[in-house]
Chain A
Amino acid sequence: MSGAPEPTPEHDDSTDAEVVLSVRDLEVSFGTKRGRAEVVRGLDYDLHRGETLAIVGESGSGKSVSTLALTKLIPIPPGRGTGTAHLGDTDLISLSEAELVHVRGQRIGFVFQDPMTSLNPVHTIGRQLTEGMRHHLGLSEAAARDRAVELLAKVGIPSPEDRLGDYPHQFSGGMRQRVVIAIGLSCDPEVLIADEATTALDVTTQAQIIDLIAELQADLGMAVVWITHDLGVVAGIADRVLVMYAGEVVEQADAPELLSRPRHPYTVGLLASLPVLGDTERGDLAAIPGLPPPPTSLPPGCGFYPRCSFRSDERCATERPPLREVVAGHLVRSFYEVPEEQSRRASAATRIAIEPPDVRDEGVA
Chain B
Amino acid sequence: MGRYVLRRTAQAAVALLGVSIVVFALIHLVPGDPVRPALGTRFDQELYETLIARAGLDQPLLLQYWNWLTSALTGDLGVSFRTGQPVTGALLQRLPATMLLAFAALLVGLLIALPAGIVSAVRQGRPVDYAASSFSQIGVSVPDFWFGLLLILVFARSLGWLPPSGYVSPLEDPVEAIRRLILPATTAGVVTGAILTRFVRSSVLEAMGAEHVRLARAKGMPERYILRHHVLRNAWIPVVTITGLQLATLLGGIVVVEVVFAWPGIGRLALDAVVRRDYPVLQGAVLLIATGFLLINLLVDLLYARLDPRITTS
Contacts and interface: CB of A to CB of B under 8 A. Distances in A.
A and B touch in the complex (CB under 8 A): yes
Interface of A: 71, 73, 100-106, 110, 112, 114, 117-123, 131-132, 135-136, 167, 169-170, 180, 183, 187
B309 interface: yes
Interface string B302-314: 0000011110011
B220 A123 contact: no
B221 interface: yes
Interface stretch (B34-42, B105-113, B138-146, B208-216): B208-216
Nearest to A167: B309
SS class of chain A's interface: helix, strand, loop or mixed? loop
Given A117-B210, A122-B234, A122-B309, A169 B219 contact: no
A104 B219 CA distance: 6
13 contacts: A73-B218, A101-B220, A104-B220, A105-B221, A117-B212, A121-B212, A121-B308, A122-B237, A123-B229, A123-B230, A132-B219, A169-B313, A187-B220
Interface of B: 210-212, 214-222, 225, 229-230, 233-234, 237, 307-310, 313-314
Contacts of A106: 220
Given A180-B215, A183-B215, 15 more contacts: A73-B214, A100-B220, A104-B219, A105-B221, A106-B220, A110-B215, A119-B212, A121-B234, A122-B308, A123-B233, A132-B221, A135-B222, A169-B310, A170-B313, A187-B220
B81 to A, nearest CB: 53
Contacts of B225: 131, 135
A112 B211 contact: yes
Nearest to B312: A167
A106 B222 CA distance: 12
B124 to A, nearest CB: 11
A118 to B, nearest CB: 4
B309 A120 contact: no
Nearest to A131: B221
Contacts of A105: 218-221
A121 B220 contact: no
A102 B308 CA distance: 31
A170 B309 CA distance: 10
Given A122-B237, A135-B225, A170-B313, A117 B211 contact: yes
B310 A167 contact: yes
A180 B314 CA distance: 22
A159 to B, nearest CB: 17
A131 B221 CA distance: 8
- Choose among B215, B216, B225, B314 the residue with the greatest number of A CB atoms under 10 Å from its CB: B215
Nearest to B307: A122
A114 to B, nearest CB: 6
Contacts of A110: 215, 218-219
A101 to B, nearest CB: 5
A120 B215 CA distance: 9
B238 to A, nearest CB: 12
Contacts of A119: 212, 215
A133 to B, nearest CB: 10
Given A112-B211, A167-B309, A167-B310, A120 B216 contact: yes
Given A105-B218, A105-B219, A122 B211 contact: no
A120 B230 contact: yes
Interface pairs A-B: 8 shortest CB-CB = A105-B220, A104-B220, A110-B218, A117-B211, A105-B219, A120-B212, A132-B219, A167-B309
Nearest to A127: B229
Contacts of A117: 210-212
